[in-house]
Amino acid sequence: MKRVKAIYPGSFDPPTNGHLDLIERGSKIFDELVVAILRNPEKDPLFSVNDRRQMLESMTAGFENVSVDTFHGLTVDYALRVDARAILRGIRAISDYEYELQMALMNRKLQPGLETVFMMPAEKYSYLSSRLVREVAQLGGPVNCLVPALVVQKLREKMDVAHKFNIDDDGGGPEAAPEAAQRMSPEKAIDAKPKSRKRKS
């Protein structure tokens, strides 16, 4: 039987539970899956490539057939270089479709032997994007249900907003997580409620 190696290219800035969902699904249908972080000098990422690599390596440590790499330049060139036959991409909503279709067809033109395979994440991740995570974190909102714990930690360090989450300190900080962030994830926002809220008055 042919062994199929696939790459899962992206920015992963930062990696989210949606990415992880896709990696898990991909690891089940491909013999080998390489999560490939694009080094794009034109983007101004929140996390360095090294940080992103570290996070992804830790997130995927439990998958025997998943590895993490970085690349720059054309995705199809990278795929050929590592001997991959498929590109895995995620489709969340109709909004992803047009861009992803364009890319897939362009990649096919550049390299007809390479297939793009689209997978859908679990519904609960279909609204989740790295950009949204960055925005919520930047506003001090809870992101613990959106990204793995390690990424929450890295975001806290990056944003220096530990006091806003108010999880492990007893006093100070705003009285509540920002309203907007709570609205986005009502059930999980409870996890990040400041202790002051639990006090009886």
From 48-56, 127-135, 152-160, 164-172, give the range in contact with ligand ADP by CB under 6 A.
127-135
134 φ, ψ to 5°? Answer: -60, -45
In the complex, minimum distance from the CB of residue 97 to ligand ADP, in angstroms, rounded to a whole number = 10
Is residue 19 a contact residue for ligand ADP (CB under 6 A)? Answer: yes
Is residue 22 a contact residue for ligand ADP (CB under 6 A)? Answer: yes
Q: Which of 52, 89, 92, 164 is catalytic?
A: 92
Which of 47, 71, 78, 125 touches ligand ADP (CB under 6 A)?
125
Q: Which of 11, 19, 164, 185 is catalytic?
A: 19
Is residue 92 a contact residue for ligand ADP (CB under 6 A)? Answer: yes
Please confirm, yes or no, whether 154 is among the known catalytic residues. no
Q: Which of 27, 52, 89, 130 is catalytic?
A: 130
Q: How far is CA 161 from CA 45, 52, 71, 79, 83, in A?
A: 19, 20, 31, 39, 42
In the complex, minimum distance from the CB of residue 183 to ligand ADP, in angstroms, rounded to a whole number = 19
Please confirm, yes or no, whether 126 is among the known catalytic residues. no
Please confirm, yes or no, whether 156 is among the known catalytic residues. no
Is residue 52 a contact residue for ligand ADP (CB under 6 A)? Answer: no
Cα–Cα nearest to 193, from 132, 150, 178, 201: 178
Burial 17-31 (b: 16+ CB within 10 A, else e): bbbbbbbbbbbeebe
Please confirm, yes or no, whether 43 is among the known catalytic residues. yes
Is residue 23 a contact residue for ligand ADP (CB under 6 A)? Answer: no
Site residues (vs ligand ADP, CB under 6 A): 10-12, 16, 18-19, 22, 89-90, 92, 96, 121, 125, 128-130
